[in-house]
Structures are given as C-alpha cells and as structure tokens.
Amino acid sequence: MKFITEFRRADLAEGLISQIHRRSQTPVRFMEFCGGHTVTIFRYGIRQILPSTIEMVSGPGCPICVTANADLDKAIALAHVPDVIIATFGDMIKVPGSRSSLQQAKADGADVRMVYSTMDAIKMAEENPTKSVIFLGIGFETTAPTIAASVLQAEDKRIRNYYVLSLHKLCPPVIRAILDSGEVKLHGLICPGHVSAIIGSHPWEFIARDYGIPCVVSGFEPLDILQCVDMLVDQIEIGESKVEIAYRRGVRPEGNQQALKLMAQVFEPCPATWRGIGEVTDSGLKIRKEYQHFDAELAFDFDPGLPYEPSGCICGDILRGVKTPFDCQLFAKACTPQYPVGPCMVSSEGSCAACYHYGRDFEG
C-alpha cells in the first residue's frame, strides 16, 4: 500500500535505530500523546529497540479513554429514550460507564448501531424519518471537523432528525494541564500526527517556548516514530527546544484551513472533563447557538444519573503518564480485554489494551 509499506522498511529502521543509539547520551523521558502512536510503539516493539537512555511514557491521547463516566452515562441514558438510534464509532460500544454500557443498553433493547463515518449516520437519519439519530461525537481535532461537516450537510439537506452529542476534546489545553501539574517530568513530546494535520504545528509552540520541551509531529508508521525519536534526541543533545514536523507528507505548519473553518463554524470551545485529569478550561467543543437544533443535550429529556468510578481502576493515573499498566492491581487479572474494568483496556488504542495485546512481559 502506497505511503504505508515504504514506511515499514526494516532496512531504513535499522539505520534510524543505530543513529539513535549513537546520538542519545542524555537520559530522557518522551511522551507519545496519541493512542495511535501508543499502538504503533507496542505493536512493533519499539520500546525494546530504543537505547536505555530513552524512557517512553504514554499520554491521554485516546479520546475514548478520556471520556469521563459522567459523559458516557449521558450517551447511555440517551440510548434509552424512545425512538432514538445511537450511531457511534465501534470502540465506544463496550466501554463501561457508571452502571452500564452501550452494549448492555443494546442487549436491553436500545437501538445502538456501529458506524464507520458520520456519512453513515446521516444516511441512517434519512432512511429512518420516524426516529431520531444521535451521533456520539467522540474524538479530537482529527474527528471534530468531520462531525462539523455532517451538521452542515444535515442543515443543507434539511434533515431534522439528526443530532450530535458533542463530547469532543481539544489536545493542546490538556497537554498544558499535564505539564502544569508537574507530575511527570518530560523531556520531549511526540505530537499527534493527524490532529496536527488539522491544526498544524503552531498550536504546539507554547510547549517549546513556555516549558522548554522539544516537540516533533510524528506519523503513524514505525519509521515515522523512529524518525521522530531521532529528531527529539537531536534537539536534546544540541540543547534546543522547538517544534518540528517529521510527518511532512501529512502535516503543514498552518494545518487544514478548511477543516478549521468548518469546525469553528459549528463548534465553540467549552470546559470539558477528562477522565483522571478533571475539568480543563476550553478543552471541549460545544455546538454553537446557530446549530443548537442539532444538539442532543438540548433536544432530549434524559437523566444520566450520578457518575461513579470503580475502585481499583487507575486509568486516570495511566492517562496522565504517572503510572503504567503494570502498576495497576487489576491489569491482566481482574481487568482484561474480555472483562474490562476501565476504558484504557476497552479502547483498541488504550495503553492497557496495547500493553496487554503486545507488550506484556513474557512471564506475564
């Protein structure tokens, strides 16, 4: 596959790995923010082949993992409203909320359907005029523009039974919150590749400027991650801190202006609660007044109940990079992909799921 297979070449990986080993002298801790990066790192065994000077830690870049129980409970409550179809990306279906999950709601008779795209959800609304289709808006800046586009399409086509529950989140504010908390000392940040395809590289500049931390925007193939680590090591060893783009084929410094325009047309920033982190200012997206007739929170009468977090689950600590899955008492024992307790194990991009599938100690 073009633009994928070339970036998995073992011979080029070897070159990067030996360069990293040669250059890396200073012990450092790098965080990969994005869940997609976490999966690549575990799937290809990248942690094993980096020198011992480099420690990798995973951040809260899995939008499913960081959705707080209170928000998931809203989705589950909406699923039980009569004549509602919940349209959602696959991963959300199995995530446990305070008392239930969308999968459980479906077993109890709710109409919950998996879609690959908002385009499918719009079609669902057109094909089911007597029902209300509520799209579960989960995702960062990569996904939010697609939901914005769906709202505008629904407006164009005068579709009156399409709604969005906006649980979208923005990345730069939460990274600032993590850095401000001082809980984890970071020396470099692997910036999310497709979020940056939308927002560009400028929004990361505050990290290099205010915190002195090198940032490199990375793609998702193993060579991309290795190249990114190489560039971070380079900055560290020459004492620089700036924002660079390694993923030059996919990211421009100014991002995708059209996507940003549509996003700003439909959404505005609002406070959002991140699992394990709490409320972060301006880190969520709310549907603007002009489009509020698409807002599921306003259109329906529903009661999510009081949120509740299961004891023993340390997803919050793992999301902030303070603990690893191995530090969790429940990991691989009470909490497995088959019987997950927390979202980090359910989501295919959660650190716990990635670690369980690919990175468990052979003795584990």
Partner 1 sequence: MKDRILLAHGSGGRLAHELVEKSFLQAFTNPILAKLDDSAVFDFSGRLAFTTDSYVISPIFFPGGDIGKLAVCGTVNDLAMSGAQPLYLSLSFIIEEGLPQSELGQIVDSIQNTAKEAGVKIATGDTKVVNRGSADKLFINTAGIGIIPQRVDISGSNATPGDRVLLSGPIGDHGIAVLSQREGLRFSTQLESDCAPLNSLVAEMLEASPNIHCLRDPTRGGLATTLNELAKQSKVSIRIEEEKVPVREEVLAACEMLGFDPLYIANEGKLVAILSAEDADKVLKAMRENPYGKDASIIGEVRAEHPGRVVMKTCLGASRIVDMLVGDPLPRIC
Partner 2 sequence: MCLAIPALIKSIEGKEAEAEIGGIIRRVSLWLTPEAEVGDYVLVHTGYAINVLDQEEAEETLRLLEEIAEIGGDEG
Which residues in this chain contact partner 2 in the complex, by CB under 8 A? 1-4, 6-7, 11-12, 14-16, 18-19, 22, 34-36, 61-64, 89, 91, 116-120, 138-140, 142-143, 145-146, 149, 152-153, 192-195, 197-198, 220, 223, 227, 230, 246, 248-252, 256, 258-259, 262, 347, 349
In the complex, minimum distance from the CB of residue 91 to partner 1, in angstroms, rounded to a whole number: 8
Q: What is the CA radius of gyration of the chain?
A: 21
118 binds, among partner 1, partner 2, none (CB under 5 to 8 A by kind): partner 2
232 binds, among partner 1, partner 2, none (CB under 5 to 8 A by kind): none
266-273 contacts at long range (C-beta below 8 A, 24 or more positions apart): 266/147, 266/148, 266/151, 266/152, 266/291, 267/144, 267/148, 267/166, 267/168, 269/170, 272/167, 272/169, 272/170, 273/68, 273/70, 273/71
In the complex, minimum distance from the CB of residue 9 to partner 2, in angstroms, rounded to a whole number: 8
Is 338 among the residues that bind partner 1 (CB under 8 A)?
Answer: yes
Is 17 among the residues that bind partner 1 (CB under 8 A)?
Answer: yes
Strands 132-137 and 162-166: parallel
332 token code pair: 């691989």
CA 357 → CA 43, 131, 150, 222, 306, distances in Å?
8, 39, 34, 17, 33
Site track 65-104 with partner 1 (rule: CB under 8 A), x = hit: -------------------------x---x----------
Is 109 among the residues that bind partner 1 (CB under 8 A)?
Answer: no
In the complex, minimum distance from the CB of residue 90 to partner 1, in angstroms, rounded to a whole number: 8
Q: Which residue has the tokens 């979020």?
A: 195
Is 238 among the residues that bind partner 1 (CB under 8 A)?
Answer: no
22 binds, among partner 2, partner 1, none (CB under 5 to 8 A by kind): partner 2
119 binds, among partner 1, partner 2, none (CB under 5 to 8 A by kind): partner 2
In the complex, minimum distance from the CB of residue 266 to partner 1, in angstroms, rounded to a whole number: 26
26 binds, among partner 2, partner 1, none (CB under 5 to 8 A by kind): none
- DSSP class of residue 6 equals G
Strands 188-191 and 84-88: unpaired
Burial class (CB in 10 A: 0-12, 13-18, 19+), 131: middle
In the complex, minimum distance from the CB of residue 44 to partner 1, in angstroms, rounded to a whole number: 5
Helix ranges restricted to H, the chain: 10-23, 35-43, 46-49, 69-79, 102-107, 118-127, 144-156, 171-181, 193-199, 205-211, 222-238, 257-266, 296-299, 315-319, 343-346, 351-354
Kindly list the residues in this chain that would bind partner 1 in the complex (CB under 8 A). 1, 4, 8-10, 13-14, 17, 42-46, 48-49, 90, 94, 116, 222, 336-338, 348, 356-360, 362-363
